[in-house]
Structure 1
Amino acid sequence: MEALLLRAALLAGYGREAAPLAQKLAAVVQAGAARSCLDAGALVQLTVAAPGPPDLQVGLRLADPFDANALTELLPPPTLGYLAQGLDRLPPADHASMGTWLFWSETRQSVYVDLRDPDPACALKRLQCLLTPQQQDRLEQVAIPVHQGRPWAVRLEATSAGIKRVQVHWLLHRHTLVHEVAEGIAPGHWPMALEVLGHLLKRPGHSGRWVIATSLNNQNSPGLSIANSGWALVPEDAEKHRAIARLFKQLGGPQDYAEALWSLCQGQVGPKWRVGRACELHVHGNHIHTKLFFVPQPDANQV
């Protein structure tokens, strides 16, 4: 684990700082019983985004329940304090959870918490315990109808000034027409998202599961935030590698870094493992931000 994170940090340009950073990141990782289609039981995820420069972005599975003391080496005290205060108000899940995940970069830190309760109404009831009255009102406005989807996770992003963003991620049912949901949230944004996914999937509107994120902070339309897991169905071959290169070249992303990161994760995997697992898109107006999720195969001793 630490060796993998060290090489990823070196690829991102951390130089002498790579080794101590990798040690701190690896130290907070904890195994858990449950999993999702995104992590597939792995304890770490590496993401790469376009447009933009190379940037180390790591998803780490944390202890459940959330242990703020374990993160003192990674997060500034005010940021960690606000996250801990928010999560303290969230009642524990009564089901096998995919856990709490910290998504860390040098400039942004978010925590994702499982909302896959057997009864979606129970998930929403738990969620409301950590929301302000204004956010509760916003949730009622943007909630995905029960016949279209269900709560999947809540994301809290914090800064030294407080909780900056709260998002609810909704897993759409298999029968739901995703384009209808997308157009209802952000009219006109779906075609651009579909075009980007077309670089990765042969049937971009029909492959995999869909997750849509709704913000509880923005009253005005924040655009379309949508993710798809269909990429996990694509074999890990040379064509998948070339698709990453083509996509990041077109979007103005760190093409060499993205290819190298995929190769790092793909170097020691079994024949059925999928490193490239999901694509997350945020479309706002004529701009699109794309994030790919790479998941290295876990060591049998780590799960």
Structure 2
Amino acid sequence: MALNKSTAKKSTTRNENDPTVRFESAKVESLFPVLDAVAWMDEASTAQIAQFAGIDPRTAGKLLKNANHLGIVDRRGTGYILLTSYPYQGTGDQKRDVVREALVRLPILVSARQFMSLGDPLDAAMRKAATVNRIVPFNIADYAPMLAWAEALNALKPGLVQEDLVDSAAAAKVERHGANKDSRVAFLSHSSSDKPFVRQLAADLKAAGIDVWLDEQRIRVGESIPERISQGLAESDFFLLAVSKASVDSEWVKKELNGALINEVQRRAVHILPLKLDDTKMPAPISDKKYADFSLSYKAGLADLVSAMKGN
């Protein structure tokens, strides 16, 4: 599936106002410190992200551009936010899975894999996929760095869909439990308003030997419930939902926290554990779930949570 060098020659006919997506050349691993920064901070600027990651702002800007094109991050105000779950301090494989999932969901690659399933080579499949997705004019050189990532992460396999990744993550969880029955992974869903609490909790859970995926409660246009079941959630043992006034008032809870999502989470053998941050009433879909109470004492809530997770 190598890219044809003759078609990858850079065009010189574009103008500065051309809105076409262009990916920057970079190693996929160089993206992870940038995503660590975005996951940990709230609407951080490029300069802040660069300092956090220990890289120069120009490099950070290129990596953020790629992550934005893939739908992993987005700009909000003067800073960046995550649009997907992310394993802060997770393994390299877990972080590569985040990028792979974004590539598998990328509309142009969804179409390209369909054309490749019909027998088209990569160049032709991308040209047709661009046309279907109304990317006109199209220059494959603009996508060459992204295609290099996709090929390295095996995201170009014809017929591959996101459900395949979720199924693989669920199977990996079974293997993990077979190798270490005491291992625990938590998927921590929260409102951005509760980020100070979440930072502390993520650090304390990691110190207790529990890996954490961070996920802010967001709704994107056109997103459906199955798309909320990501690799990170399928791989996790616990779905921790931080319940506070901020989260209950969010559109995520109002529209997406419903029976269908709860059933799908439980079908994936993920235990739901709400976290009570204040005196807010538990949302109806999880009102019957045992919760860890942080509203009166953080230390007491943490002790109960770790005990429940380690004992289950």
Greater percentage in strand: 1
TM-score for both structures, normalised by structure 2: 0.30
Higher RCO structure (Cα 8 Å, ≥6 apart): 1
Task: Mark the structure with the bigger radius of gyration.
Answer: 2
